[in-house]
Amino acid sequence: MTTKHEVRKNQYFDSVTLMVASSAMRQMDGVINAAVMMGTDHNRDLMRNAGLIGPDTPTFGVNDTVIGVQAETDQAAQDAIAYFDTFINGKKASAQAQTQVRATSLPTAKSQCPQTNFAVISVPGRYARAEAEKALGLGLHVLLFSDNVSLQDEVELKEMALEKGLLMMGPDCGTTIINGTALGFANVVRRGNIGLVAAAGTGLQEVTVLIDQLGGGVSQALGTGGRDLKAEVGGKMMSLCLEALRNDPETQVIVILSKPPAKEVMARMLEQLSTMDKPVIAAFLGGDPSLVEGTNVVWAGDLEQAAKLAVLAAQGQPTTLPPQDTAHTETYVTQLCATLKPKQTHLRGLYSGGTLCYEAMLILQEEGIDAWSNIALDARWKLPDGQPSRDNTLLDMGEDFFTNGMPHPMIDFRQRVERMEREAADPDVAVLLLDCVGGYGTHADPAGELAPAIRRAKEIAAQDGRDLVILASVTATETDPQVRSHQIQILEQAGAVVASCNAQAARLAAGIIRRQRQE
Amino acid sequence: MNMQHIQKLFASQLAVANVGVDVFCQAVQDQKVPAVQVDWRPPAGGDVELAQILAKLQTLPGNPIEEANREGFSRMDASDPEWTGMVYAHEVLPDMDKYTIGHAGPPLAWEDMCGPMQGAVLGAIRYEGLAQTDEEALQLIQEGRIRFRPNHNVQCVGPMTGMITWSMPLFRVVNKTFGNVAYCTINEGLGKVMRFGANDETVIARLKWLEQTLAPALNRAVELHGPFNLKVIMAKALSMGDEMHQRNIAASSLFARTLMPSLVRVIDDPQVLGEVTDFITGNDQFFLNLAMAACKSICDTVKNIPYCTLVTAMSRNGTNFGIKISALGDQWFQAPVLMPEGLFFPGYGPEDANPDMGDSAITETYGIGGFTMGASPAVVRFVGAESVQAAMDYTSSMYQITQGANRQLTIPTMDFRGAPMGIDVRKVVDTGITPVINTGMAHKQPGVGQVGAGIVRAPMDCFTQALKAFAQSLTLT
């Protein structure tokens, strides 16, 4: 075995680019382990612990690219490093084809393209505030994808934005649709008269996709970042976004998606909404309908309901939903349980979308099923990071513990795929619950990444003489680059059961678990 | 609430700048919406405090910095340097006596001087007749009789060690637009010369000849010809493949061609005429010193503009690299000099080279030299750049840290784009791109002379210090 390391001075690449390259290098013949990272202290530790750098590695700093390869032979290691260069040069060449001189800062970019009116920022959290502040200073609206930004910085950025009348979406805002353009992780949905504001990224994806499915359309879909409705931030951006939608002539119906806001924030928001002359549908996930009792706000219990109610309102119809078709669900449950053994009474959910995971847990709870989770509804059910699943477990694999040094699970499926195999090996497990999120910014073929793992999970169960129900839903539209029907087909061919949406998948899962418990 | 910006956004074409993960940029472009990817890297080597300062500076009410920088840039643009004659240091420099020695770079004490600088100082003392031997000269220094000062503080510049003493003749360059004057010594040629720290009798003798024979002749010639417009020569030379720091052959030839008819008319003695014309035409770098004085006369006009973050001086004393920025006047911001990387003359290697030295980085301060490498395919080999494309890439990257493009000095090889002009300290810190400098390399032992040429960067630390001090001056920190 041999280890080779190289330092490329003053070469900066974003971490996603490097992780994609590293991942490809690891898959090369004869390569045992490989990583290419920027030379931060954190990465230094990671690479040192992995044995990819050693005392003889040249010194490096944060602007240097560090390459470490462990391989069976010198040649294999050299090939891996050569691959990296080819990979990067390919990127560079395509970048050069687009523009002659690449702007290295926001002000330069703005001066090169004066029509620029929007900044998407996804730099590491500690630099995010400065970049966002610069963008606001240049009069740009901001989508701040970065997380790990302090609450104080968030408050100050939003105050700055309010003063200037600019959108400051985030930090930790993954999804938005402006003028029909998907930014961050977002889907291609029909344009229409429903305007949305969300403090929940995948929630916004799911609802916009469902609206599209139901024949409705979206005017604007705005994100605020998950902490906007906390008392500290005070719903600053929510309030601005609601005003923006109030003033937007294209928007006829307003949808709000969030966890229940802090009490005083809720009071202010309801006051603001009380003068709204457009129907307002709100899904305060995990909250109580009494929150909006006596107001003009229509309560939605989950994301699916929010989409259905919004489309009804958009068509000028009364905002009441028929009850769930439980008979149909029960028939399907009977079918799915037929091949399960009585011992199989547990459920494991592996999610790339946080809000989808949360929604599923709420539905399970309604049905009397408590689940362990890293984002548990109740602290008693909190599964400590790094621990194996127990009983019923639902994991949001986009949380910090999983994304530390790794790309988001909507881009990189390695961790989810590994975990699927582990859950499949547990003889008590009846159901694997998955999301499959498409749209721009996400993986080009998420179902294609999940399909082999679905087959392997089924095989693992079969070898143990069991069956395993794998339930999934696809958050994508027909017009998304991944194409909804195509994704569904891939999942189904691999042996998964694909529900019409995440809420339906969760209901079906709950039905199976309840049935299995009874037997 | 002020809703007008958001309403405008909803009603107009979205145009995105993406900072960070590039798949988001690609995604927007795939939707046929204009998007530019910002080639972002952590600002200032990852210093979060500086990143915040930068952001604050950009959001000052009314953006006074931008306005001040535009003013600075327009002064550089309007500058019109002319060579008007030769003067002696003691005639024109303030607070001058025989014991005063001007040197390159920021201030430094004898003990901190590198080998070549010390060698030059000993030679300069002997040149002025204050001592017969190096030992006597050293004694004067140790007795504290010699006063050292940076050339930059008295409107002067000098290449490499940059010695300027009482008797030395100086090019006088007047910035016609603003009336300010700048001075530079005469280039001594290659080989054993004082600017590389040599100080034997041949060096002293040549300096005496410059003082007593060449300078008077040059002065008479310029009197007869009238002032030389230096920007015109520089613009032409740039279009002829000079970058004007390490390659000045076109500029020197143009200069000689313009000078010669006057020179032959003012020198009677054929022997002297032969020596003078041999000297001027035998030195490809003759024009460098005139270019330096021209650049100094241009950069000085930018000094002391409130809120202006443009760099007005970059200079090295062989130990430290120093810069000045407009708003902070004559305050130096220093960091240890870096080692140039480049090519060596036969018989020499990196172990022989002295670290970066000289006031000649005034050329890059104005925006030629390393900044115009793209204009000079021929200099590529000399300074050890990888390729002509690499030279163009150096120039391209300098636009990222400058206020704008030079309207008079254009680069034919890059579609006649103006040379990058007006280094903005904010942009240097923000982008992490430091100014690139083409430079000669001195042997680290005094007296050996030039051993090669190469490329060196201004140390980032100078710029981060300057930026912090600037923010402090605005009580932002």
Question: Tens of pLDDT along A237-266?
Answer: 999 999 999 999 999 999 999 999 999 999
Convert the pLDDT of each residue in B300-329 to its tens digit: 999 999 999 999 999 999 999 999 999 999
For CA atoms A313, A480, A503, A378, give the dihedral sign. negative
Q: What are the residue boundaries of the structural domains of chain B, listed by start?
A: 1-40, 68-76+300-473, 82-294
Q: Which residues of B touch A107 (CB under 8 A)?
A: 58, 427, 430
In a mutational test of the A interface, the residue from B2, B24, B413 whose CB has the highest number of chain A CBs within 10 Å is B24
Nearest to A14 among B15, B21, B427 (CB): B21
Across A185-189, B42-46, B366-370, least confident range: B42-46
CATH code of the domain in which A330 resides: 3.40.50.261
Q: Which residue, A295, A322, A349, sits at the end of a domain?
A: A322
Q: Which residues of A touch B341 (CB under 8 A)?
A: none
A478 and A380 housed in the same domain: yes
A286 and A331 housed in the same domain: no
Give the contacts of B88 (CB within 8 A, at least 6 positions apart): B166, B167, B168, B169, B170, B211, B215
A336 and A439 housed in the same domain: yes
State how far residue A94 is from chain B, nearest Cα, in angstroms. Answer: 11
A324 in helix, strand or coil? coil
- Paired sense of beta strands B81-88 and B169-175, if any: antiparallel
A75 and A114 housed in the same domain: no
CB of A92 less than 8 A from some CB of B = no
B24:A95 CB<8 A? no
Q: Which residue, A322, A342, A373, sits at the end of a domain?
A: A322
What confidence score (pLDDT) does residue A112 get? 82
Q: Which fold has domain B82-294?
A: Enterococcus faecalis V583 fold (3.90.1710)
A14:B16 CB<8 A? no
Across A44-58, B18-32, B232-246, B258-272, least confident range: A44-58
Q: Which residues of B touch A181 (CB under 8 A)?
A: 14, 28, 31, 33
A505 in helix, strand or coil? helix
A316 and A283 housed in the same domain: yes
> What is the crossing angle of helices B249-266 and B215-225, to 10°?
90
Q: Could you say which residues of chain A have pLDDT below 70?
A: 90-101
Convert the pLDDT of each residue in A414-460 to its tens digit: 999 999 999 999 999 999 999 999 999 999 999 999 999 999 999 99
State how far residue A334 is from chain B, nearest Cα, in angstroms. Answer: 43
CA A382 centroid distance within chain: 20
A426 and A463 housed in the same domain: yes
Give the contacts of A465 (CB within 8 A, at least 6 positions apart): none
Which chain A residue shows the shortest CA-CA distance from B43? Answer: A127
Q: Which residues pair with A499 in a beta bridge?
A: A473
A510 and A422 housed in the same domain: yes
State how far residue B330 is from chain A, nearest Cα, in angstroms. Answer: 28
A109:B20 CB<8 A? no
Convert the pLDDT of each residue in B172-224 to its tens digit: 999 999 999 999 999 999 878 999 999 999 999 999 999 999 999 999 999 99
Which chain A residue shows the shortest CA-CA distance from B34? Answer: A116
A165:B41 CB<8 A? no
A199 and A138 housed in the same domain: no
CB of A46 less than 8 A from some CB of B = no
A404 and A40 in contact (C-beta within 8 Å)?
no
A319 in helix, strand or coil? coil
A88 and A152 housed in the same domain: no
In a mutational test of the A interface, the residue from B21, B392, B427 whose CB has the highest number of chain A CBs within 10 Å is B21
Q: Which residues of A touch B42 (CB under 8 A)?
A: 12, 62-63, 123-124, 127
Closest by Cα among B418, B391, B28 to B234: B418
Domain count within chain A: 4
A105:B51 CB<8 A? no
* Chain A to chain B Cβ contacts (< 8 Å): 221
B20:A63 CB<8 A? no
CATH number listed for the domain at residues B68-76+300-473: 3.90.1700.10
Across A114-118, B284-288, B384-388, least confident range: B384-388
CATH code of the domain in which A153 resides: 3.40.50.720
State how far residue A96 is from chain B, nearest Cα, in angstroms. Answer: 11
A63:B37 CB<8 A? no
Q: Which residues of A touch B57 (CB under 8 A)?
A: none
A155 and A234 housed in the same domain: no
B37:A98 CB<8 A? yes
Q: What are the phi and psi torsion angles at A155 (to 5°)? A: -60, -45
A314 and A346 housed in the same domain: no
Q: Which residue, A276, A306, A322, sits at the end of a domain?
A: A322
B23:A98 CB<8 A? no
In a mutational test of the B interface, the residue from A40, A120, A138 whose CB has the highest number of chain B CBs within 10 Å is A120
What confidence score (pLDDT) does residue A98 get? 42
Q: What is the DSSP string of A91-155?
A: HHHHHHHH-SS--SSHHHHHHHSTT--EEEE-S-HHHHHHHHHHHHHTT-EEEE------HHHHH
A22 and A39 housed in the same domain: yes
Convert the pLDDT of each residue in B256-267 to its tens digit: 999 999 999 999
Q: Which residues pair with A38 in a beta bridge?
A: A65
What confidence score (pLDDT) does residue B397 get? 93
**CA A156/CA B65 separation, integer angstroms:** 23
Which residues form the domain of A26? 2-98
Using H for helix, E for strand and C for coil, what is the string for B333-397? EEEECCCCEEEECCCCCHHHECCCEEHHHHHHHHCCHHHHHHHCCCHHHHHCCCCHHHHHHHHHH
Convert the pLDDT of each residue in A107-137 to its tens digit: 888 888 889 999 999 998 889 999 999 999 9
Which amino acid belongs to residue A476? Answer: A
Which chain B residue shows the shortest CA-CA distance from A15? Answer: B21
**CA A1/CA A6 separation, integer angstroms:** 17
Mean pLDDT calculated for residue range B67-91: 97
Q: Which residues of B touch A12 (CB under 8 A)?
A: 39-42, 432
Q: Which residues of B touch A15 (CB under 8 A)?
A: 21
